[in-house]
């Protein structure tokens, strides 16, 4: 077992080195700012997501403040656990050293995981809970111990509290277990106890959803209108094929479950993956949702490749090389291990006529927030100190509000007022005589205030397009009573 341990540790070290180089670069992503902002208002649920990420954010903040590198390390540690669990799954299903090495290499070579395990988002933890759930499923199917059913229920419950998409896994796994183990499962009281434990865990969030008129459906509807309606099932497939070599090997792992005798007892897992894939494809889901199913496929792929290459060992090394070598060049696209200047040269990006560089959306969303906060702070500090208690800050979207909330701590800025997403639940605060607004357009401001003065139009060469050329105003003499109108905005929080 010692040689397996050394292999796994070596793979973990490689992953940590890459993240050590990239986690502290650029700046917070807008989504990270949202997740850290809600962690200051712990609740049983939020408009955009379940509460798990907020509690992790609170814990991370208590330990490290708002240090970019260490906040992101929590997602990285989730990625490390995924790597370890994948290797352990490979070992548990009967894989030997080469199988364990290859399954670990597949996790490292799957480029989207570097991005997923960089940002402080529910995505990394979603992938962790899927992998953990598959791990306990493997153990149950192998050893038939009811303890693993209970742990499976706990894992699925935690996963539901992190990201609702795991509901597809719950339904698919239930159907697969019933189809493949009908009598044993349906007559096993621990199967129902496991489900009951999961239900008790998620009940506070379900109650919160009920009390807030199920914003998860409103969020999904707005997501569908703004993004999913423009996508097709073909787009979902293209996202999987964006990493062609790892996809092919993962597909081989899926097929092997049904055809290699020694692992046919795990066909419930194969059926689950197929059902999840078909569900996501038909629902026109975002491609990265399915990435959570890859680690278990990598485990079976490692086992299958080791098994069929026993007499042709050179073929094993060919597969490993094809998986790893093409990925190395693209690592800077997945995680910011290069400075922004070096990345621009690496991608050969030229500025547009306004001097803005068109970065990928995730990278662009890491720039401009600090400068926005500095601009707002300079305006806020321009008011006499005695008057500042009557000056508020109003932001148009959760990115700007998150920046004021998180980065504004260093400048002692007041909490922003924002009606976007979960920020609506924090309320409008006490009314102020004047407000500094960022991102709000003139027609909105004129509805809310009698007077406005444009201070500056914000521009940043690397920031995402929607955060460029945004106006910053000083506004006064409100036309409306914020506390009276605030409840009427609940249905418009995602507009």
pLDDT in tens, 37-48: 999 999 999 999
189-215 b/e (C-beta count within 10 Å ≥ 16 → b): ebbeebbebbeebbeebbebbeebeeb
Whole-number pLDDT of residue 458: 95
Band of residue 425 on the pLDDT scale cut at 50, 70, 90: very high
E strands in 379-433? 391-395
- 3-class DSSP state for residue 471? strand
Mean pLDDT of the chain: 94
Nearest-angstrom CA–CA distance, 412 and 35: 20
Nearest-angstrom CA–CA distance, 429 and 417: 7
pLDDT at 233 exceeding the cut of 90: no
Whole-number pLDDT of residue 229: 65
Band of residue 184 on the pLDDT scale cut at 50, 70, 90: confident
296 and 273 Cβ atoms separated by less than 8 Å: yes
93-107, 110-124, 220-234, 447-461: least confident range = 220-234
Whole-number pLDDT of residue 125: 98
Nearest-angstrom CA–CA distance, 16 and 261: 36
288 and 116 Cβ atoms separated by less than 8 Å: yes
pLDDT at 237 exceeding the cut of 80: yes
pLDDT at 152 exceeding the cut of 70: yes
Whole-number pLDDT of residue 495: 79
pLDDT at 268 exceeding the cut of 70: yes
**Helix-strand-coil split of the chain, %, nearest 5:** 70, 5, 25
> pTM of the full predicted structure?
0.95
């Amino acid at each position: 077992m010692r040689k397996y341990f050394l292999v796994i540790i070596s793979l973990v070290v490689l992953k940590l080195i890459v993240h050590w180089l990239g986690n502290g670069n650029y700046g917070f992503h807008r989504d990270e700012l949202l997740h850290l902002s809600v962690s200051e208002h712990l609740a049983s649920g939020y408009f955009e997501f379940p509460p798990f990420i907020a509690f992790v954010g609170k814990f991370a903040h208590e330990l490290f403040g708002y240090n970019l590198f260490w906040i992101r390390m929590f997602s990285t540690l989730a990625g490390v656990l995924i790597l370890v669990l994948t290797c352990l799954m490979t070992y548990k299903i009967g894989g030997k050293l080469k199988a364990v090495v290859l399954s670990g290499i597949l996790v490292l070579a799957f480029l989207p995981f570097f991005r997923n395990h960089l940002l402080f988002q529910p995505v990394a933890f979603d992938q962790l809970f899927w992998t953990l759930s598959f791990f306990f499923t493997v153990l149950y199917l192998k050893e038939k111990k009811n303890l693993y059913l209970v742990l499976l229920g706990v894992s699925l419950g935690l996963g539901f509290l992190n990201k609702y998409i795991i509901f597809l896994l719950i339904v698919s796994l239930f159907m697969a277990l019933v189809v493949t183990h009908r009598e044993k499962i349906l007559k096993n009281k621990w199967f129902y106890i496991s489900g009951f434990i999961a239900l008790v865990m998620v009940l506070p969030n379900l109650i919160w959803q009920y009390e807030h008129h199920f914003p998860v459906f409103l969020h999904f509807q707005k997501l569908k209108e703004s993004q999913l309606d423009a996508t097709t099932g073909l787009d979902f497939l293209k996202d999987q094929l964006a990493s062609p070599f790892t996809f092919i090997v993962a597909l081989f792992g899926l097929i092997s479950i049904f055809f290699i005798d020694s692992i046919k007892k795990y066909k419930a897992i194969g059926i689950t993956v197929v059902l999840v894939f078909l569900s996501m494809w038909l629902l026109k889901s975002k491609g990265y949702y399915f990435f959570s199913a890859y680690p278990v496929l990598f485990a079976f792929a490692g086992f299958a490749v080791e098994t069929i290459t026993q007499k042709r060992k050179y073929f094993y090394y060919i597969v490993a090389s094809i998986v790893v070598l093409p990925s190395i060049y693209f690592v800077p696209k997945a995680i910011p291990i290069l400075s922004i200047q070096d990345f621009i040269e690496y991608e050969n990006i030229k500025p547009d006529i306004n001097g803005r560089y068109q970065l990928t959306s995730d990278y662009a969303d890491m720039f401009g927030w600090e400068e926005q906060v500095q601009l707002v702070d300079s305006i806020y500090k321009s008011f006499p100190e005695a008057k500042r208690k009557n000056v508020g800050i109003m932001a148009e979207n959760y990115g700007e509000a998150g920046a004021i909330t998180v980065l504004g701590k260093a400048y002692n800025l007041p909490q922003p007022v924002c009606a976007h997403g979960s920020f609506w639940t924090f309320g409008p605060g006490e009314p102020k005589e004047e407000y500094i607004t960022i991102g709000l357009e003139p027609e909105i401001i004129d509805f809310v205030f009698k007077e406005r003065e444009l201070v500056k139009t914000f521009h940043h060469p690397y920031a995402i397009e929607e955060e460029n050329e945004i106006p910053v105003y000083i506004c006064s003499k409100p036309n409306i009573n914020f506390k009276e109108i605030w409840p009427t905005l609940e249905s418009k929080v995602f507009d």
